[in-house]
């Protein structure tokens, strides 16, 4: 079964990506985690995301499109990226989520991927 692991990190942790004093440790932890996922052969796909200030949020209200630069709300955690993994069951997905760097400082949402719609 496929599960999406959605990684959220506190603002301070997210900023470690580009902080010269912390980026090596930050990316080293993610590199080790990604390597373990690859070695286990469970990755289907995934991507990291650029910072929230690069986002654009779209809503349609009363038939009119509203566009807002940046994230849609003031939040304490920022969406950092995701992986779709293929594992036997939810327990295995939860095990992989718990091993991620985000689990120690933020959160990891684990959600089953909806199977393709049949015509």
**Which residue ranges make up each domain of the chain?**
2-112
Residue 26 Cα to chain centre, angstroms = 15
The two tokens of residue 64 are 């009119």
The two tokens of residue 21 are 């004093």
3-state class percentages of the chain: helix first, strand second, coil last, to nearest 5: 35, 35, 30
pLDDT in tens, the chain (119 residues): 999 999 998 888 888 989 999 999 999 999 999 999 999 999 999 999 988 888 888 889 999 998 888 765 566 778 899 999 999 999 999 999 999 999 998 999 999 999 888 77
Are 108 and 7 a contacting pair, CB within 8 Å?
yes
Q: Does the domain made of 2-112 have the CATH classification 3.30.70.1060?
A: yes
- Give the global pTM: 0.85
């Amino acid at each position: 079964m496929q599960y999406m692991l959605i990684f959220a990190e506190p603002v301070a942790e997210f900023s470690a990506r580009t902080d010269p004093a912390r980026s090596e440790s930050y990316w080293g932890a993610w590199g080790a985690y990604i390597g373990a996922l690859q070695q286990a052969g469970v990755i289907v796909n995934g991507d990291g995301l650029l910072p929230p200030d690069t986002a654009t949020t779209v809503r349609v209200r009363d038939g009119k499109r509203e566009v807002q630069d940046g994230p849609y709300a003031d939040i304490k955690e920022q969406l950092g990226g995701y992986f779709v993994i293929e594992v036997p069951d939810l327990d295995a997905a939860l095990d992989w989520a718990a091993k991620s760097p985000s689990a120690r400082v933020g959160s990891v949402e684990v959600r089953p991927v909806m199977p393709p719609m049949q015509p």
